[in-house]
Structure 1
Amino acid sequence: MTQSIVVQVGQCGNQIGCQFWDLALREHAAINKRGVYDESLSSFFRNVDSRYDDPPNISVSESKGQIRSLKARAVLVDMEEGVVSEIMKGSLRDVFDCRQLITDVSGCGNNWAVGHKMYGSQYGEQISETIRRAAEFCDCLQCFFILHSMGGGTGSGVGTFVLDILADEYPDVYRFVTAVYPSAEDDVITSPYNSVLAMRQLTEKADCVLPIENQALVDIVNKISHAIPSTKTGKKVFTSTVSNSIKPDSAITNIEGAISKDEKPFDAMNNIVANLLLNMTSSARFEGSLNVDLNEITMNLVPFPRLHYLVASQSPLYVFKDVHLPPRRLDQMFTDAFSKEHQLLKADPKHSLYLACSLMVRGNVEMSDIRRNIDRLKSSLKFIHWNQEGWKTGLCNVAPVGQPYSLLTMANNTCVCESFTNLKDRFVKLYKRKAHIHHYTSVEGMEVGDFTASLESLNTLINEYYQLDKTAGNPNINQPRLQINS
């Protein structure tokens, strides 16, 4: 059984990560009611004898007198300690190893250079050692998941510094990045700088990037809010979806979540991203008739090393852990997943070119249903001429809690150009006036050349996608050679 480590960076990354671990525990609790530590749990959790100081080679036996607890395979990093401190005071505090936390107090001031150059140098050795310790508890480490935002200083700066460390020290372990991009109306004026500076590392060092736009999350939350029935008092109706019959002293605990009670402004948005991670990793955590290994995602969806930005879409959409919505019809679920309203990126893939697409289905679904829906939908989707059958399908037997089935699609589609071009335009608008540049160049190790190199990297990425889109309609056109480095 393979294992994965989640590295949560910055306020956004840690909040999403906290939601992911809560939801993951709920899924395992719903399936594994006796709380036995099995291969499914071992993919993202360690089984710890809490009487000792986390000794290596921990036995999974259940002898009398042993006190077992689960520890998430997670590293929490933030240069402001507020969010991590809140997590360690909350209901999930026992799930995290206190030695896997790295915090400071002053923050990065929404400055990529402070995060990447200053704090990267200051905490680089500690981050490397903390990740190494987490890796040593893995029998077969397959993947790192990096969760961070692009607009702030810690998420963009320290997040990409962590990515650099992973690329240098674990070159054979897959690096999946979930990056939340700021909206055009973001209140951080320097967010275009931070995002473009960070994208250079994402393009060069990541194996797969799932770009998620804040505005898309806002739109989805609003859409769901209108769909949930309300009482006469205007309060939303919640229905518990997890049984309380979990054995009290088991390795799994039915942890009471915070979302349905004291929901915070970004909890609903973070929960959507956490559900994306939950569905993407379902095959690594549960059995299925056609499980998709994480390495198969990059193998099938990334035909060129730099073009590894995947557009994610989910159906059904729900934000609260305890909302029990009526199930969608199966065919409607497939239709929804290919509509722009269900995408986590503000773009329309139907008018752009598909390089490849994956369907990750969970629940009581037959392969014949998946094939039928592929045949029904593919005539309306434009695939590149050399990969007309570029579909990767996966089927995990375990559905999300409270749903009969779900679908996650991840598509390598040229529509990401639109989002990247909008980001570039916002960057250029600031950079032409040299606005706020001095805040960056005053940091040791940061030069103006970092701005130009990052802009050039983004331009090259956009042009590579554009070249593919331009020649899609006619395979006989002499396509310019893509400038793609390994």
Structure 2
Amino acid sequence: MTQSVVVQVGQCGNQVGCRFWDLALREHAHVNKRGVYDEALSSFFRNVDSRRSGEDPCVLGGRIQHLKARAVLVDMEEGVVNELLQGPLREVFDTTQLLTDVSGSGNNWAVGHMTYGSAYREQIVEKLRRAAEHCDCLQCFFIIHSMGGGTGSGLGSSVLGLLEEEFPDVCRIVTAIYPSAEDDVITSPYNSVLAMRELTEHADCVLPVENQSLVDIVNKIRHMSDGRTGAGIRKESSISCGRGGTEKPFDALNNIVANLLLNITSSARFEGSLNMDLNEIPMNLVPFPRLHYLVPSLTPLYTLADVNIPTRRLDQMFSDAFNKDHQLIRADPRHSLYLACALMVRGNVQVSDLRRNIERLRPSLPFVSWNKEGWKTGLCSVPPVGHSHSLLALANNTCVKPTFMELRERFSRLYRKKAHLHHYLHVEGMEQSFFSEALTSLSSLIEEYQHLDVSHTRLEPDAPRLCIAT
């Protein structure tokens, strides 16, 4: 059985990670009624003997287990991590796998990447190695962080580079939370573009998630619950990771991202008739090394506080997965070009249902001429708790281009005025060339997507191809 390690960096990364562990335990307890440590649990948890270690046990399905999450938690402000350690999941985290500071990164990529990345390099490497040593067969590192702040973007991208350096053969999948245009961190465009250069160069694939898209989805869910007879929120599923289990303002948004992680890891955690290894995602969906940004789409839409809305028909679920309202970034995939697509289905769904819906949708989805059969599919027999089935679509689609163009424009508006630049340049090791190089990297990425769009529009199947990933 393969194992994966989750690396949570910064406030956002640790809050989303907390929701993932909470929901994962909930799913395993729902399936594993006897509370026995099995292969499914070993994929993201390890079992320890608390009688020797002095650690407190946690409960799974009413039976005592000594589970520790395969996780490394890093934050340069100690508030969020300390809150996790005082909350209901405190026994799940190994305290030797936590790294905190007190001053934070001041919403400055350079402080997170240069200052803390250098100061804590050896400690981070040691914690990553220790997490890897607890795995029998390490398959993947999941990195969760935000792009707009200082620690998430700066130290998060530094950790990504360390993973490539220390574990070059282990898949690196990044879940990156992008700020909205109305973000209250004025330097977030700088931080995001500087971090994007690192993600483009060092990640195997990136799942971009926009804050504004999450807000739109949560509002849609609330509207659905208000507009349906008998719909409502199940109180027993409204769980928070903080002290006292109280809901926080961003919990609903974080729950959406946690559900994304639950779906993408479902085949690694449970059995299925057509399981998909995590390293098969970049292998099958990334034909060009740099174009590894995969647009996630979830259906049905729900948060941790599940909405009691009747399940939609199976065929409608597949249609929804290609609807922009179900995407975690604001873009329209049907008006852009597909390079490849993965469908990860959970629940009582047959292979025949999967094939039938692919054939039904195929004519309406514009795929590149040289990869018309670019579909990867996975079937996991265990659905999310409270649902009969669910679907995660991961699309390598040129529709990410407008999102990156908007980010570039916001960056350029600041950079043209050299606004707030001095905050970065006073950091040791930071030079102004980092800004121009990051902007060049982003512009080059946009041009590569544009090249594919133009080639498809002109119907030039023999147009020069980019360097194909090996």
* TM-score, scaled relative to structure 1: 0.91
| SS of equivalent residue, structure 2 residue 180 | coil
After superposition, what is the alpha-carbon deviation per residue over 1:234-271, rounded to whole angstroms, capped at 9, x for unaligned?
Answer: x98333678xxxxxxxxxxx988679963211100000
Conserved in 1, the CA contact under 8 Å of 2:7 and 2:143?
Answer: yes
Per the alignment, residue 455 of structure 1 pairs with: 439
Structure 1 alignment gaps of length 5 or more: 56-65, 243-253
Per the alignment, residue 383 of structure 2 pairs with: 399
Instruction: Report the Cα distance in structure 2 between the residues aligned to 1:256 and 1:433, rounded to whole angstroms.
Output: 42
Q: Which amino acid aligns with 1:449?
A: S
Per the alignment, residue 5 of structure 1 pairs with: 5
Structure 1 residue 21 corresponds to structure 2 residue 5: no
Per the alignment, residue 44 of structure 1 pairs with: 44
Structure 1 residue 69 corresponds to structure 2 residue 66: yes
Per the alignment, residue 63 of structure 1 pairs with: none
Instruction: Report the Cα distance in structure 2 between the residues aligned to 1:472 and 1:114, rounded to whole angstroms.
Output: 42
- Which residue, 373, 378, 386 being the options, matches 2:357? 373
Per the alignment, residue 86 of structure 2 pairs with: 89
Going from structure 1 to structure 2, the CA distance change for 1:413 and 1:255 (only over 3 Å counts) comes to: closer
Per the alignment, residue 417 of structure 2 pairs with: 433
Structure 1 residue 239 corresponds to structure 2 residue 234: yes
Per the alignment, residue 60 of structure 1 pairs with: none
> How far 1:372 moved relative to its partner?
1.2
Identity of aligned residues (%): 68
> How far 1:323 moved relative to its partner?
3.7
After superposition, what is the alpha-carbon deviation per residue over 1:114-151, rounded to whole angstroms, capped at 9, x for unaligned?
Answer: 00000111111111101111111000001000000000
- Which residue, 444, 448, 459 being the options, matches 2:428? 444
Q: Which amino acid aligns with 1:35?
A: G
Instruction: Report the Cα distance in structure 1 between the residues aligned to 2:278 and 2:172, rounded to whole angstroms.
Output: 10
Conserved in 2, the CA contact under 8 Å of 1:241 and 1:323?
Answer: no
Q: Which amino acid aligns with 2:216?
A: D
Instruction: Report the Cα distance in structure 2 between the residues aligned to 1:261 and 1:46, rounded to whole angstroms.
Output: 25
Conserved in 2, the CA contact under 8 Å of 1:150 and 1:191?
Answer: yes
| SS of equivalent residue, structure 2 residue 51 | coil
> How far 1:376 moved relative to its partner?
1.2
Going from structure 1 to structure 2, the CA distance change for 1:343 and 1:133 (only over 3 Å counts) comes to: same
> How far 1:199 moved relative to its partner?
0.4
Per the alignment, residue 383 of structure 1 pairs with: 367
Q: Which amino acid aligns with 2:350?
A: E
State how 1:48-447 maps to structure 2 within 5 Å. 48-53=48-53, 68-229=65-226, 237-239=232-234, 262-447=246-431
Q: Which amino acid aligns with 1:79?
A: M
Instruction: Report the Cα distance in structure 1 between the residues aligned to 2:271 and 2:42, rounded to whole angstroms.
Output: 13
After superposition, what is the alpha-carbon deviation per residue over 1:264-302, rounded to whole angstroms, capped at 9, x for unaligned?
Answer: 111000000000000000000000000111111111100
Conserved in 1, the CA contact under 8 Å of 2:178 and 2:210?
Answer: yes
> How far 1:403 moved relative to its partner?
0.3
> How far 1:477 moved relative to its partner?
6.0
Conserved in 1, the CA contact under 8 Å of 2:140 and 2:173?
Answer: yes
Q: Which amino acid aligns with 1:36?
A: V
Instruction: Report the Cα distance in structure 1 between the residues aligned to 2:243 and 2:219, rounded to whole angstroms.
Output: 16
Conserved in 1, the CA contact under 8 Å of 2:84 and 2:241?
Answer: no
Conserved in 1, the CA contact under 8 Å of 2:83 and 2:243?
Answer: no
Instruction: Report the Cα distance in structure 1 between the residues aligned to 2:373 and 2:467, rounded to whole angstroms.
Output: 25
* TM-score, scaled relative to structure 2: 0.94
Conserved in 2, the CA contact under 8 Å of 1:314 and 1:408?
Answer: yes
Going from structure 1 to structure 2, the CA distance change for 1:396 and 1:50 (only over 3 Å counts) comes to: same
Moved more, 320-329 or 111-120: 320-329
Conserved in 2, the CA contact under 8 Å of 1:260 and 1:320?
Answer: no
Going from structure 1 to structure 2, the CA distance change for 1:105 and 1:134 (only over 3 Å counts) comes to: same
Per the alignment, residue 245 of structure 1 pairs with: none
Q: Which amino acid aligns with 1:144?
A: F
Q: Which amino acid aligns with 1:169?
A: E
| SS of equivalent residue, structure 1 residue 227 | helix
Instruction: Report the Cα distance in structure 2 between the residues aligned to 1:295 and 1:77, rounded to whole angstroms.
Output: 24
| SS of equivalent residue, structure 1 residue 228 | helix
> How far 1:51 moved relative to its partner?
1.5
| SS of equivalent residue, structure 1 residue 212 | strand
Moved more, 45-54 or 125-134: 45-54
Conserved in 2, the CA contact under 8 Å of 1:464 and 1:483?
Answer: no
Instruction: Report the Cα distance in structure 1 between the residues aligned to 2:421 and 2:455, rounded to whole angstroms.
Output: 38
Instruction: Report the Cα distance in structure 2 between the residues aligned to 1:239 and 1:269, rounded to whole angstroms.
Output: 17
Conserved in 2, the CA contact under 8 Å of 1:143 and 1:176?
Answer: yes
